[in-house]
């Protein structure tokens, strides 16, 4: 139901409308435009416009050359068939949504042999936070996402891993023992959620959930890193529930 005529739209709706207006205006102009022209034409305060333009450029929906803006490659990308979207393009909005809902650092990891690497990550905006280093590979047993991926492997692959992989000790809590890891894997397979308790970094706990598509292919795993100072049963339940729902969306697609 639309709001009464005398009621202003909520700020989030207003921001969304302005974003769409900017895209439509720039595309319809057919030539690069400066920010001041957009601000004048659409009656958008310069302070708000700057943030919206930067976001649209960052997401590829606008392209910037000097002081001028034009339609970006992201608009054409939206017209592609779903099967042509890369895994990164599919998981990025889900990672962003999880970060917004939890305000904790959220990443999606992919497997490289016995290691994981962040394909995309969104860092918490809180002062006390953990940042995942893009491009850095971490052993499977170190991160919750790595454990989730490990539990998604076949029994044969797990035994090969336990026999071959070097499992470094990162903190006094790091689990490296084969039997203990087998017990953890059994629990993860039952609950769907992997956990770490300061096992890679002191003061940081994590929850992770693997994603396996309809064809049985392991795509990777979502992981949430939470400082121990904020980690409690309620936070763990909320993070686990959101991971389950988000992973299910990706698996269904």
Kindly tell me if the per-residue pLDDT of 36 is higher than 60.
Answer: yes
Averaged pLDDT, 84-92: 85
- The pLDDT value recorded for residue 107 is 97
**Average pLDDT rounded to a whole number, residues 57-66:** 92
Q: In this predicted structure, what is the pLDDT of residue 12?
A: 57
| Residue 10, pLDDT score | 60
How confident is the model over 239-253, as a mean pLDDT?
Answer: 91
pLDDT tens track for 119-136: 999 999 999 999 998 888
Q: What would the mean pLDDT of 165-191 be, rounded to a whole number?
A: 96
| Confidence band of 112 (pLDDT split at 50, 70, 90) | very high
Rounded Cα distance between 19 and 34, Å, is: 16
**What local confidence, expressed as pLDDT, does residue 122 receive?**
93
Least confident of 2-6, 33-37, 56-60, 125-129: 2-6
- For the segment 172-195, the average pLDDT, to the nearest whole number, is 97
227 contact partners, CB below 8 Å, separation of at least 6: 128, 129, 130, 203, 204, 205
Averaged confidence pLDDT in the chain: 91
What is d(CA 145, CA 116) in angstroms, rounded to the nearest whole number? 8
């Amino acid at each position: 139901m639309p709001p009464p005529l005398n009621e202003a739209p909520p700020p989030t709706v207003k921001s969304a409308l302005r974003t769409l207006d900017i895209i439509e205006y720039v595309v319809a102009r057919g030539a690069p435009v400066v920010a001041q022209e957009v601000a004048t034409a659409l009656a958008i305060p310069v302070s708000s416009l700057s943030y919206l333009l930067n976001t649209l450029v960052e997401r590829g929906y606008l392209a910037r050359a000097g002081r001028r803006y034009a339609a970006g490659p992201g608009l054409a990308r939206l017209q592609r068939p779903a099967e042509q979207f890369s895994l990164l393009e599919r998981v990025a909005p889900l990672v962003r949504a999880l970060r917004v809902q939890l305000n904790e650092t959220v990443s999606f990891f992919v497997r490289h042999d016995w290691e994981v690497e962040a394909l995309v990550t969104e860092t918490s905006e809180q002062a006390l936070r953990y940042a995942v280093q893009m491009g850095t590979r971490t052993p499977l047993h170190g991160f919750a996402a790595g454990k989730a991926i490990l539990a998604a492997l076949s029994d044969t692959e797990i035994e090969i891993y336990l026999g071959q992989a070097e499992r470094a000790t990162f903190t006094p809590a790091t689990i490296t023992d084969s039997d203990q890891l087998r017990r953890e894997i059994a629990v993860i397979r039952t609950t769907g959620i992997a956990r770490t308790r300061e096992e890679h970094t002191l003061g940081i706990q994590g929850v992770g959930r693997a994603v396996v598509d309809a064809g049985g292919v392991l795509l990777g795993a979502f992981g949430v890193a939470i400082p121990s100072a904020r980690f409690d049963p309620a936070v763990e339940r909320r993070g686990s529930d959101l991971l389950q729902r988000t992973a299910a969306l990706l698996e269904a697609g």
